[in-house]
């Protein structure tokens, strides 16, 4: 059987690549209204391909924004059910002038496919469809029950899928979810992600005077909304990046010694990370913790944007009446988003300077996620990944957040296998996004082997 | 003589008002390129009116931007020379929808003239021209030598006049300058301003990472340019508004006890100031000093604008690579702008957080000004003001800055009589700017009496 699958995938590589290119050529940018017809085309493409792979009950599910695509194949009684997730929408491509070849004309160079969405996430979600197709082609059936749920709003917050998952737990019943929307730790290293940070994203608005005031006539006696805002925010962390809000670290757990030990075994060059990726004069953060620990298993507080007062060319001497900042906490597993929001609200209220009123608006809040590496699906996934790539699978975390994984945990009560085939330097959301073509083929094999072996457990 | 002047002014009030309206109807907005023809019309209007008032050597002086208007009358040998300054340009009028009557159609309501530029500064500078006309009409000559220098860039930084004054000290030789571009302390209270704060306006830019980074993947280890910037700026003042930069207060002098005493005698209602003018929940600043002291005789540090990272709708989890703030110091007399800039640069360098580089750009820097209240011109001005308004003249300072006064001091070595006829609630730069018509007429009388009496000293 594995040999037959391998042969089928090998034989069909050129077609699989052409299909992926066709998919990528649809500029399904979810944030730009003028691309709404492309969103519809991309959803239809996915639905058609699911049909071609033998999936059933295919539905393009309308939502408040962009449609979901659902499909299933449920003819493996007694076998587990796998819920395959991915997204067909992509980020905008600008700045266009920085692309070597046009973003929606996929181009092969050095074994990579260059295009917007090649890695994030069209090239990865398409792996699932082709793995199912290969399994059906070889044996006429699937080794497990399968559901697909593909969204078109991942790059714009994913509100519709969150709602759909919450409202349709019965329809989505499964034993495990499979998500390919992350990167391998490095090329050639099979990698399962078993931890994601959560995210609380907020706007903090500050108000001082009733209107913008002349800084000559009122400066010295009138509150300044920008200054009030930055006075508060600057107190949120100390110089080492340690968050100063009481209670924030209460629920933060240290990674198990074995997990920490395994991180130390990963190839990581701090100097290269600084020079190639961060590009600053130095790294920052908690000095007694390694870099991977800081970005994987520690909470953070960041200011993402700030605006207030006069920012045009030249000078205007205004005491601004209002100012706003976008801020976030990244959370680690066990931290309760609601408690963190409450602690932050209370702290801001207590630290707002004289004459400054503040308002906090929570845009979204999702908890961190850990996957138990001893879950059968995870163990099988690790084995399949190792077999195909010929190397021991490593378990890592990611500092990022995939809210839908939290939705699956909360509403479907299932863990997620985070099996990504991207690479850290794929340039997601950037010009010249790329995807290693060889890993696309190996990904199809890996997912097929995983499903095969996971079905064999039943 | 005074009686004849008074009669002439009284007789001509309707014409003086019509002329001012004609002047105001020219929308000479200096910051909007589409109004460049209006700027030229306004300059020509001023030149023509100076000619009608009997001034000589009238010149419209081209500059890099908007023209200056120069004129003189120098036939009073042995008498002092007065340099009259004003500006014919105005601020933009938007938001237009907030005006009760159109901004460039002067409308009389409740004894006020409502229009852009009515108080700032057309209605005030025109007082000088009409005072000169009245003196010439009554006695066929002027009691002093007079020069006029009227600019069209006051609302956009005044670079051209600064240059012209620096380059033409001989041509502008005078004993004292007369500026009517300030407000009386309150209606009915003749007021001379004898102190202005200086201003240093700067941009502070901060850089962290080489590019915007994903806050999930790098948050905890990468420097954040916004956070670095606000960490520094938030340390610049303590909670009471006291500037924390070493040496800043070294040259700051306390006002003389008599001056402080006279401020305490001014009608000032702190609650009304807070409620009507500031509109915040409370006033701020140095708690052991009165409000007038805080805004007139103490230096300040303000952030006027700040920008960085993502500020659109929704959420984007970026660690911003750069951020910028517009900041200023208001200086009191004796503070050296160069030393304050140097101290600030050094302090920012010392306090920039790990991984953050900063750059400071000085947009302009002018020192504070004090005028000696015992200068003969100031004493005569106070007397004339008292006579016309029937009340004791008060001496105040202003927290604002009029850079040209510094230019006159630096290059012409002359003091300036700051004799303003506006009112604090005239709404300069705001919709429904107004000017009290009665004070326009009294202002013409006051300036005529001042020139008459100042000439009588010689």
Query: Which residue range(s) make up the domain with A319?
Result: 198-253+294-366
Q: Is A65 on the interface with B (CB under 8 A)?
A: no
Q: What's the gap in Å between the CA of A65 and the closest CA on chain B?
A: 15
**Residue A64 domain flag:** yes
CB–CB of B286 and A317 under 8 A? no
A191 and A202 in a single domain? The answer is: no
B133 and B239 in a single domain? The answer is: no
A59-88 pLDDT, tens digit each: 999 999 999 999 999 999 999 999 999 999
Q: Please tell me which of the candidates B157, B221, B294 has its beta carbon nearest to residue A294.
A: B221
Interatomic CA distance for residues A242 and A346, integer angstroms: 18
CB A445 within 8 A of CB A6: yes
The domain boundary, picked from A305, A340, A366, lies at A366
Statement: residue A438 has pLDDT above 50: yes
The domain boundary, picked from A334, A351, A366, lies at A366
CB–CB of B219 and A399 under 8 A? yes
Q: Is A307 on the interface with B (CB under 8 A)?
A: yes
What is the pLDDT at residue A270? Answer: 95
Query: In three state form, how does the secondary structure of B262-291 look?
Result: HHHCCCCCHHHHHHHHHCCCCCCCCCCCCH
Statement: residue B458 has pLDDT above 60: no
CB A407 within 8 A of CB A162: yes
CB–CB of B304 and A309 under 8 A? yes
ipTM of the complex: 0.90
A5-42 pLDDT, tens digit each: 999 999 999 999 999 999 999 999 998 999 999 999 99
A446 and A300 in a single domain? The answer is: no
Nearest chain A residue (CA) to B201: A315
- Read off the pLDDT of each residue in B210-219 and give the average, rounded to a whole number: 91
- Read off the pLDDT of each residue in B202-208 and give the average, rounded to a whole number: 97
**Residue B259 domain flag:** no
**B2 confidence band (pLDDT: 50, 70, 90):** confident
**Percentage of residues in chain B with pLDDT exceeding 90?**
88
Q: What's the gap in Å between the CA of B156 and the closest CA on chain A?
A: 9
Interface test with B, best of A91, A202, A303, A332 (most B CBs within 10 A): A303
**B316 confidence band (pLDDT: 50, 70, 90):** confident
A44 and A81 in a single domain? The answer is: yes
**Percentage of residues in chain A with pLDDT exceeding 70?**
100
B375 and B434 in a single domain? The answer is: yes
The pair of three-digit structure tokens given for residue B183, joined into one six-digit string: 């407000």
B317 and B353 in a single domain? The answer is: yes
Kindly tell me the sign of the dihedral angle through the C-alpha atoms of A260, A266, A272, A275: negative
Interatomic CA distance for residues A44 and A156, integer angstroms: 20
- Read off the pLDDT of each residue in B47-59 and give the average, rounded to a whole number: 98
A112 and A147 in a single domain? The answer is: yes
Beta strands per DSSP E along B28-118: 56-61, 68-73, 81-87, 107-109, 112-114
What is the pLDDT at residue A1? Answer: 62
Q: Which residues of B touch A315 (CB under 8 A)?
A: 157, 201, 304, 326, 328, 363-364
Q: Which residues of A touch B214 (CB under 8 A)?
A: 400, 429
Nearest chain A residue (CA) to B282: A355
Statement: residue B314 has pLDDT above 90: no
CATH number of the domain that residue A426 is part of? 3.40.630.10
Interatomic CA distance for residues B278 and B272, integer angstroms: 9
Residue tagged 């991942």 (tokens) = A154
- Read off the pLDDT of each residue in B69-76 and give the average, rounded to a whole number: 98
Q: Is A197 on the interface with B (CB under 8 A)?
A: yes
Kindly tell me the sign of the dihedral angle through the C-alpha atoms of B147, B152, B156, B161: negative
Interatomic CA distance for residues A117 and A38, integer angstroms: 13
Interatomic CA distance for residues B49 and B51, integer angstroms: 5
Q: Is A222 on the interface with B (CB under 8 A)?
A: yes
**Residue B278 domain flag:** no
Beta strands per DSSP E along A343-386: 357-366, 369-370
On whether the pTM is more than 0.95, the answer is no
Q: Is A156 on the interface with B (CB under 8 A)?
A: yes
The pair of three-digit structure tokens given for residue B291, joined into one six-digit string: 């409000």
Q: Which residues of B touch A330 (CB under 8 A)?
A: 215-216, 219-220
**Percentage of residues in chain B with pLDDT exceeding 70?**
100
CB–CB of A295 and B357 under 8 A? no
**Residue B135 domain flag:** yes
Domain count, chain B: 2
CB A139 within 8 A of CB A73: no
Q: Is A94 on the interface with B (CB under 8 A)?
A: no
**B1 confidence band (pLDDT: 50, 70, 90):** low
Q: Is A73 on the interface with B (CB under 8 A)?
A: no
**Residue B167 domain flag:** yes
CB–CB of B215 and A304 under 8 A? yes
* CA angle, residues A188, A190, A192, in degrees to nearest 5: 150
Statement: residue B364 has pLDDT above 90: no
Q: What is the largest CA-CA distance in chain A?
A: 83
A155 and A215 in a single domain? The answer is: no
Interatomic CA distance for residues B301 and B280, integer angstroms: 19
CB B404 within 8 A of CB B199: no
The pair of three-digit structure tokens given for residue B455, joined into one six-digit string: 């000439």
Give the three-class secondary structure for B253: coil
Interface test with A, best of B218, B223, B291, B309 (most A CBs within 10 A): B218
The pair of three-digit structure tokens given for residue B67, joined into one six-digit string: 């023209």
- Read off the pLDDT of each residue in B150-162 and give the average, rounded to a whole number: 93
CB–CB of B209 and A233 under 8 A? no
What average pLDDT is seen over chain A?
A: 95
Interatomic CA distance for residues A125 and A117, integer angstroms: 10
CB–CB of B219 and A353 under 8 A? no
The domain boundary, picked from A339, A366, A393, lies at A366
- Read off the pLDDT of each residue in A94-121 and give the average, rounded to a whole number: 95
Q: What's the gap in Å between the CA of A71 and the closest CA on chain B?
A: 30
Q: Is A306 on the interface with B (CB under 8 A)?
A: yes
What is the pLDDT at residue B429? Answer: 84
Interface test with A, best of B32, B91, B221 (most A CBs within 10 A): B221
A342 and A240 in a single domain? The answer is: yes
CB–CB of A219 and B302 under 8 A? yes
What is the pLDDT at residue A458? Answer: 46
Angle subtended by helix axes B437-457 and B122-139, to nearest 10:
50
**Residue A92 domain flag:** yes
CB A117 within 8 A of CB A57: no
- Residue partners of A419: CB distance under 8 A and separation at least 6: A178, A179, A180, A182, A192, A381, A385, A446, A447, A450
B181 and B304 in a single domain? The answer is: no
B358 and B377 in a single domain? The answer is: no
B85 and B231 in a single domain? The answer is: no
Q: Is A237 on the interface with B (CB under 8 A)?
A: yes
Hey, which residues 374-433 in chain A have their CB within 8 Å of chain B?
A: 398-401, 429
What is the pLDDT at residue B267? Answer: 93
Which position has the higher pLDDT, B233 or A155? Answer: B233
**Residue A285 domain flag:** no
Cis peptide before B95 (omega within 30 of 0): yes
| Tally of CB atoms within 10 A around A372 | 11
CATH number of the domain that residue A300 is part of? 3.30.70.360
Q: Is A283 on the interface with B (CB under 8 A)?
A: yes
Statement: residue A412 has pLDDT above 80: yes
Cα-flanking dihedrals φ and ψ of residue A6, to 5°?
Answer: -55, -45
- Read off the pLDDT of each residue in B162-189 and give the average, rounded to a whole number: 97
- Read off the pLDDT of each residue in A255-284 and give the average, rounded to a whole number: 93
**Residue A82 domain flag:** yes
């Amino acid at each position: 059987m594995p040999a037959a699958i391998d042969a089928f995938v090998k034989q069909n590589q050129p077609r699989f690549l052409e299909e992926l290119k066709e998919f990528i050529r649809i500029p399904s940018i979810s944030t730009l209204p003028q691309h709404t017809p492309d969103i519809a085309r991309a959803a239809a493409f996915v639905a058609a391909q699911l049909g071609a792979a033998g999936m059933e009950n295919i539905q393009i599910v309308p939502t408040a924004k962009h449609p979901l695509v659902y499909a299933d194949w449920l003819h493996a009684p007694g076998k587990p059910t796998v819920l395959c997730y991915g997204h067909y929408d992509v980020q905008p491509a600008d700045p266009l002038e920085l692309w070597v070849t046009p973003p929606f004309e996929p181009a092969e160079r050095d074994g990579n496919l260059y295009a917007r969405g090649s890695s994030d996430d069209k090239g990865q979600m398409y792996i699932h469809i082709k793995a199912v197709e290969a399994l059906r082609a070889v044996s006429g059936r699937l080794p497990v029950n399968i559901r697909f749920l593909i969204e078109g709003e991942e790059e714009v917050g994913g509100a519709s899928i969150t709602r759909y998952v919450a409202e349709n737990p019965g329809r989505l019943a499964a034993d495990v979810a499979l998500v390919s929307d992350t990167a391998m730790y490095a090329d050639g290293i099979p990698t399962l992600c078993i931890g994601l940070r959560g995210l609380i994203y907020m706007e903090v608005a500050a108000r001082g005077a009733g209107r913008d005031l002349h800084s000559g006539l009122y400066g010295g006696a009138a509150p300044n909304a920008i200054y009030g805002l930055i006075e508060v925010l600057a107190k949120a962390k100390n110089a080492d990046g340690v968050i100063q809000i009481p209670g924030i670290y209460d629920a933060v757990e240290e990674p198990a010694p074995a997990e920490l030990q395994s991180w130390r075994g990963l190839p990581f060059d701090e100097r290269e990370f600084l020079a190639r990726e961060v590009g600053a004069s130095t790294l920052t953060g908690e000095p007694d913790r390694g870099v991977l620990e800081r970005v994987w298993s520690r909470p953070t507080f960041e200011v993402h944007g700030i605006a207030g007062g006069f920012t045009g060319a030249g000078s205007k001497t205004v005491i601004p009446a209002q100012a706003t900042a976008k801020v976030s906490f990244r959370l680690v597993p066990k931290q309760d988003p609601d408690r963190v929001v409450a602690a932050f609200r209370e702290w801001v209220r207590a630290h707002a300077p004289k004459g400054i009123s503040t308002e906090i608006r929570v845009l979204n809040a999702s908890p961190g996620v850990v996957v138990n590496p001893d879950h059968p699906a995870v163990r099988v996934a690790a084995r399949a990944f190792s077999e195909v790539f010929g190397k021991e699978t490593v378990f890592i975390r990611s500092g990022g957040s995939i809210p839908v994984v939290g939705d699956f945990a909360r509403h479907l009560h299932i863990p997620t296998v985070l099996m990504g085939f991207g690479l850290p330097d794929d340039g997601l959301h950037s010009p010249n996004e790329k995807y290693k073509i060889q890993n696309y083929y190996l990904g199809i094999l890996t997912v097929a082997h995983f499903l095969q072996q996971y079905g064999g457990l039943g």
